[in-house]
Amino acid sequence: MNAKKIVTVVLLLFVIVSVVFLLAKEFTPKQVAIDSPKDESFITQGAVGDSSSRDTAVIDKNLAKVKITQNKNPQVEDRKIVVYYFHRTMRCATCIKLEEYSDEAIKSGFASQLKNGKLEWKIINIEDAGNEHFENDYKLYSQSLVLIELQNGKQKRWKNLEKIWELVGTKEVYLRYVQEEVKSYLEENT
């Protein structure tokens, strides 16, 4: 074999290995936390303490723990914002980046709201059993970041942050967009 043929074969092998590697990386399913409002199967709920405090204990049979919520003023409406990142099982590198940037925007911008329960952050695989309804509920056609306002446990409104696809190329702009939208949702009607 002459040198030209050897170089050609080596370059072809390099290209083939590179393409296989990229395809494997692009289409390898990633494991993420899966959560759904439908998974919240509470088995016991009742008053705790004296009747003046109106604390509520909720026992979650899936998590085997007790959550105690203090309701200082039962007249105030229970309002919170839920931020969902919806994805499918097979995801590209950009889809993973959308989730990572969204996670960073929410956790870095709203730590106190996450802690006090005014804001929830959930990652949902819409292809998992029981999650298919989200596709119709929020008119999803791809990976999406959706804000939902709940008032007294009922959905009041929702918004799909469709610009995430346009902004994913510039992390700072993406983070600012998500944080501004979430902040707006938190501040409206408060």
- Per-residue pLDDT reduced to its tens digit, 122-148: 998 888 888 888 887 888 778 889 999
Residue 32 CA neighbour count, 13 Å, CB half: 26
Residue 111 main-chain phi, psi, to 5 deg: -60, -45
CATH architecture of 77-187: 3-Layer(aba) Sandwich (3.40)
pLDDT at 142: 82
- Kindly give the interhelix angle for 171-187 and 93-109, rounded to the nearest 10 degrees: 50
pLDDT at 36: 39
Would you kindly state where each structural domain of the chain is located, as residue ranges? 35-73, 77-187
d(CA 86, CA 1): 54
Tokens matching residue 121: 């952050």
Tell me: the pLDDT tens digits for 46-84? 444 444 444 444 444 444 444 444 444 444 468 899 999
Q: Which residues contact 156 (CB under 8 A, 6 or more apart)?
A: 149, 150
d(CA 99, CA 88): 12
The mean pLDDT of the chain is 75
Q: Which residues contact 118 (CB under 8 A, 6 or more apart)?
A: 79, 80, 81, 186
Tokens matching residue 10: 């080596």
Does the pTM surpass 0.75? The reply is: no
d(CA 144, CA 124): 10
